[in-house]
Amino acid sequence: MKLAERKSGIIFIALLVVLIASCQYGTRSALHHYHVLFRELYFIPIVLAGFFFGFRTALATSLSVTLLVAPLVFFNWEDFSPNDFTTLLEILLYNLTAAAIGVLSDRERMRQKKLHDAERLAAIGRAMSGVAHDMKSPIVAIGGMTQLVQREFDKDHPSFHKLELVLQQARRLENLTKDLLDFARPLELQRAPRDLNSLIRESFQPVEAEALKKGVKVQLDLFEKLPLVSIDPFRLERVFINLMLNAVQASPEGETVRIRTLVEKGMVVADIIDCGCGIKAEQREKIFEPFFTTKREGTGLGLPISRKIVEAHGGRLRFMDSPKKGTTFRVELPAG
């Protein structure tokens, strides 16, 4: 729903509540049957709020109605008469109805979003697979021919360095093609019981040089009594290398990237905690989308592929704000 439509809908619901309240407060208390009717009419804006805007708006509407009805209950209190009991029951029903419809509406909205995302990603995957296959042969040919021509020049010749730039870009295109294929095709995991701590230590080795180059410290805070996890070590190592490199690149010189492991709610957890500027609000919903990147030379496929690998293991990859500054990327994997 667009922002303008959402604002208009909320304003309409608010005006509807105010209109019903005005009618109720403008009617003499002796006209009991009218007050019963007005109390029933409050269910209309509550149901509309829950259906169109979800739990939070529905609950806000029901609480607003509760506050509007409360003075009438107080001034017309009859020592807990049947009428008082009915009114209190209706107030309770306002909030229960709002909660029930709001939760159901949010679940349905989330289900529709997941379905839409799955269909969209499947279409993107098919398109990327075709593009990657078409790109692969020309890139290999460009790289091979460039190497042959480069051999004709000495290393001090200006053309040798120019051809080296061509080779670098060809390798970059090869890596992009590989990423496209990895994202598009189904994962076939070669699982084996592994200690996650040892895998993290192995994954850190290729990242160490980048950390030294950038002047960023990396602190391993590993829980030594982790249960074994059934994983594909090659696939998951790629995830940790990607997340560690991102953390190092996001952190300023002199800061420390923390990598910790723990057990939480039956899951083996690995946190990669950087000291960067965090993820902007407008980027949070796009962070796992293919081709979205804030890096100058990024492909925007690192995080989507990482999430695909983690979810193929029955786990979850998510991010959250760190307590002091920066972002924590959390990998959750089922134990055993």
Are 140 and 217 part of one and the same domain?
Answer: no
The distance from CA 283 to its chain's CA centroid, rounded to whole angstroms, is 10
Does pLDDT of 331 surpass 90? yes
Least confident of 12-21, 115-124, 199-208, 277-286: 115-124
Are 126 and 175 part of one and the same domain?
Answer: yes
Which one has a higher pLDDT value, 151 or 135? 151
Q: 136, 156, 185 — which closes off a domain?
A: 185
Least confident of 16-30, 235-249, 264-278: 16-30
Q: Which pLDDT score is estimated for 133?
A: 63
Are 162 and 213 part of one and the same domain?
Answer: no
Q: Which residue has the tokens 């009428």?
A: 83
Are 227 and 242 part of one and the same domain?
Answer: yes
d(CA 329, CA 52): 33
**Interior/surface letters 218-239, b for 16+ CB within 10 angstroms, e for the rest:** beeebeeebeebebbbebbbbb
Does pLDDT of 173 surpass 70? yes
The pLDDT-based confidence of 179 (bands split at 50, 70, 90) is: low
Are 94 and 17 part of one and the same domain?
Answer: yes
CA angle (126, 132, 134) in 5-degree steps? 105
Q: 164, 185, 206 — which closes off a domain?
A: 185
Least confident of 62-66, 72-76, 103-107, 125-129: 125-129
Q: Which pLDDT score is estimated for 259?
A: 93
Task: Say if pTM beats, i.e. exceeds, 0.85.
Answer: no
Pairing of strands 217-221, 256-264: parallel
Are 174 and 205 part of one and the same domain?
Answer: no
For residue 185, give the DSSP letter: S
Are 125 and 203 part of one and the same domain?
Answer: no
Going by C-beta distance under 8 Å and a sequence separation of 6 or more, which residues neighbour residue 272? Answer: 240, 243, 244, 246, 247, 257, 258, 259, 328, 329, 330, 331
Using N-to-C axis directions, what is the helix angle for 233-250 and 302-312, rounded to 10°?
140
d(CA 72, CA 11): 24
Domain that holds residue 138: 1-185
Tell me the mean pLDDT in the region 64-76: 83
Domain CATH code at residue 282: 3.30.565.10
Are 75 and 107 part of one and the same domain?
Answer: yes
The pLDDT-based confidence of 196 (bands split at 50, 70, 90) is: very high
Least confident of 33-37, 90-94, 316-320: 33-37
Model confidence over 85-118: pLDDT tens digits? 777 888 889 899 999 998 999 898 888 887 776 6
Are 166 and 231 part of one and the same domain?
Answer: no
Does pLDDT of 130 surpass 80? no
Number of domains in the chain: 2
User: 259 phi and psi, to 5 degrees?
Assistant: -125, 115
Does pLDDT of 155 surpass 70? yes
